Amino acid sequence: MQVKSSRFIISNTNVEMCPKNGFPEYAFIGRSNVGKSSLINSICNKKKLAKTSSTPGKTTLINHYLINESWYIVDLPGYGYARLSKTQKKKIETITKNYFKKRNQLINAFLLIDIRHEPQTFDLDFMLWLNKNLISFSIIFTKADKLKIYQIEKNILEYKTVMYENGWESIPSIFVTSSKKNTGKEKVLDYIKILNSEFHKYIKN
pLDDT per position as a tens digit, 86-101 = 888 888 899 999 999 9
CATH 3.40.50.300 assigned to domain 6-204? The reply is yes
- Whether residue 144 is predicted with pLDDT greater than 80 in this model: the reply is yes
**Average pLDDT of the residues in 37-48:** 93
Contacts by residues 162-167 (CB-CB < 8 Å, ≥ 24 positions apart): 162/119, 162/124, 163/124, 163/127, 166/124, 166/128
Between the alpha carbon of residue 26 and those of residues 1, 120, 138, 155, the distances in Å are 15, 23, 10, 25
**134 confidence band (pLDDT: 50, 70, 90):** very high
Using CB atoms within 10 A of its CB, is residue 2 exposed (0-12), middle (13-18) or buried (19+)? Answer: exposed
Q: What is the pLDDT of residue 33?
A: 85
pLDDT of residue 58: 53
Q: Tell me the average pLDDT across 109-136.
A: 96
Q: Which of the four pLDDT bands, split at 50, 70 and 90, describes residue 203?
A: confident
At residue 104 the predicted structure's pLDDT band, cuts being 50, 70 and 90, is: very high
Domain boundaries, the chain: 6-204
What radius of gyration, in Å, describes the C-alpha atoms of the chain?
Answer: 16
User: Helices (DSSP H) in 54-148: which residue ranges?
Assistant: 86-102, 121-132
Looking at residue 59, its pLDDT comes to 64
Evaluate if residue 81 carries a pLDDT over 80.
no
Q: How many CB atoms lie within 10 A of CB 49?
A: 20
Instruction: Give the pLDDT of residue 80.
Output: 72
What does the chain come to in residues?
205
CA distance 1 to 143: 22
